[in-house]
Amino acid sequence: MPQGKWFRIGYAIIVVLLIAYLAMKVDYLFDPIGEILAALFVPIVLSGMFYYMFRPAVRLLATRLPLSLSIVIVYLAVLGLIVLFSWLIWPPIREQSMTLVQNFPDIVKSVSEWLTSIQKHQWVQNISNDETFSTENLSSQISAALGDILNSVVGSVRSLFNMVMNFFLLLGLVPFIIYYMLREGDKFPALVLRMIPDRLHNEALPAMKEIDASIGSFILSKVITSLIIGTLTFCGYFFIDLPYPLLLGLVAAVTNVIPYLGPLLAAIPTVIVALTISPITALQACAIIIISNQIESNIIGPKIMGKQLNVHPLTIMMLVIGAGAIIGPLGMVIVVPVYAIVKIIAIRIYNFNKNNRIHKEPDLLPPPPRI
């Protein structure tokens, strides 16, 4: 039997596929395990995100106070921010959301009328006379598309409601997970080192530190830049007197966590709302989004990003699109840090194997002569 490297890789792939095939035949044994993992996935991801958000403040307070007291103080501060948000910001957001849902049919009608007026323009009529292009059904098609968007918005609102309900169900679980992660998080590297061979410790510990620094920097930078984007877009929308400025600013802040595609997603509802006023307002809204993101990416972002994930932009866009199609919105958010983790581990394993091969190679040079 061949013993070459590629034959061993092929054997491993065949064995993995065979195991997967057999697992599919006895799915009734693995379905409960999958359901348990799916139920734990969201709490663990949320806990990890909040862990990296709270950890800098906890470590700062822990230099002068006991660790448990530092965690409690951070929890109380976050609770105060939630109460402040519920008191000052949430009521206008809720009011603007209800108004937008009620006025959405009128928005669709206004956009359709605007498109119809464009079709009557002489320049558009000249283009529509060309056999390769026709605008006869353009307004009806876009109206149908806007109707589909309305259905999607309603479905998204329902999904958001279910998400909020699940959030409150997890509200009693996630804080405890975060607490123990903040309290026992420094023991995690030692726990991992006990699970792997001693010869891998020299590579495993730096890899864990690099992963920790990269993910922590990514999450903190996304939170801060999202707040900045939301503030800038809200101020810009308010300045041009755009309807629903706080709601659309919140949309820009939330979608900013999706790399590269977030601003495009935020621009879609903003432009639709702005077209109900005038095309100039739509151009102004687009300019606000572009300027805000340029300020964030070129001025503010580099100063707070710290250690970046070092992933090519094209790779990020492909990962985000693929994860969004397979997993959904949550996948679009977590796919980049997950890819960065896999990349760091793969590079470390490659360097480890490469160094081992170099050290195992015999010395081909003859020994120096004795003098």
pLDDT value for 235: 92
Find, among 209, 198, 216, the residue nearest to 344 by Cα: 209
pLDDT value for 138: 52
How far is 87 from 288, CA to CA, in rounded Å? 28
Residue 234, both tokens: 């809200």
Find, among 85, 361, 72, 80, the residue nearest to 230 by Cα: 85
320-351 per-position pLDDT tens digit: 788 777 777 777 777 888 888 888 888 888 77
pLDDT value for 132: 47
Please say whether the beta carbons of 286 and 252 come within 8 A. no
Residue type, 71: I
Between 361 and 351, residue with greater pLDDT: 351
What single DSSP character describes residue 131?
Answer: T
Find, among 51, 53, 48, 46, the residue nearest to 223 by Cα: 53
How far is 235 from 291, CA to CA, in rounded Å? 12
How far is 104 from 116, CA to CA, in rounded Å? 18
Confidence of residue 271 (pLDDT cuts 50, 70, 90): confident
pLDDT at 149 over 60: no
35-76 per-position pLDDT tens digit: 777 667 777 888 888 888 898 899 899 888 898 899 999 999
Find, among 303, 331, 302, the residue nearest to 319 by Cα: 331
Average pLDDT, the chain: 75
228-257 per-position pLDDT tens digit: 888 999 999 999 888 888 888 888 888 888
What values do phi and psi take at 47, rounded to 5?
Answer: -65, -40
pLDDT at 137 over 60: no
89-111 per-position pLDDT tens digit: 888 888 887 887 777 777 777 76
Q: What SS3 state is found at 371?
A: coil
Please say whether the beta carbons of 114 and 124 come within 8 A. no
pLDDT value for 160: 52
Find, among 135, 111, 164, the residue nearest to 281 by Cα: 111
How far is 346 from 353, CA to CA, in rounded Å? 11
pLDDT value for 176: 84
pLDDT value for 124: 53
